[in-house]
Amino acid sequence: MAVLTHTFQPVYDENSRILILGTFPSVKSREMQFYYGHPQNRFWKVTAFLTDSPIPQTIAEKKAMLLAGHIAVWDVIASCEIRGSSDSSIRGVVPNDIAGLLDQTGIRAVFANGNKAYELYEKYCEASCGLRAVRLPSTSPANAAWSLERLEESWGGACRAYLG
């Protein structure tokens, strides 16, 4: 297991209304130096659905879509021990300063992309943030039980009220 540090910044601005949290960047995301880098992860399709946007291709397009849609993205973990991209292998968690980010924005709701992100937020961040997270089904390709259509329906039902 390697001890790794998160090396790229959250995406947000003063107009962000919701924060979507992952756990820690996958191997592919670490290679790309940006969120949800695995080509089979459905995150960008789901957020394009939420914002009624075309699916972004470049990092610049992804950032622009998120910010235009008032969506902030970050991960719960600043550093940890992890094997590959396996959330189940995560140990020695040092959380990001999510409360500090919330203080700089108009974020009104926190959403966790999957069970592990939810559990980590609840354990390490919820008390200092003062906001309960909403657990959403993971967009990871490992969550094959959820089709893209089901993900869009679930995420849309939870997030759209905060984005309007």
Residue 54: pLDDT band (50, 70, 90) is very high
- Range of lowest pLDDT (22-26, 85-89, 106-110): 85-89
| Residue pLDDT, tens place only, 73-98 | 999 999 999 999 999 999 999 999 99
Residue range(s) defining the domain that contains residue 108: 2-163
**Sole residue written with tokens 């980010």:** 101
Whether pLDDT at 164 is above 80: no
Q: Which two tokens stand for residue 48?
A: 């394009």
Structure tokens at 163: 């984005």
Q: What would the 3-class secondary structure string for the chain be?
A: CEEEECCCCCECCCCCCEEEEECCCCHHHHHHCCCCCCCCCCHHHHHHHHHCCCCCCCHHHHHHHHHHCCEEEEECEEEEEECCCCHHHCEEEEECCHHHHHHCCCCCEEEEECHHHHHHHHHHCHHHHCCCEEEECCCCCCCCCCCHHHHHHHHHHHHHHHHC
Distance CA 21, CA 139 (A): 12
Q: What is the mean pLDDT of residues 110-116?
A: 98
Task: Check which CATH number belongs to the domain holding 51 and give it.
Answer: 3.40.470.10
- Indicate whether 25 pLDDT > 80: yes
What is the count of structural domains for the chain?
1
Give the whole-number percent of the chain exceeding pLDDT 70.
100
Mean of pLDDT values over 38-44? 96
**Residues labelled catalytic:** 41
Q: What is the pLDDT of residue 97?
A: 98
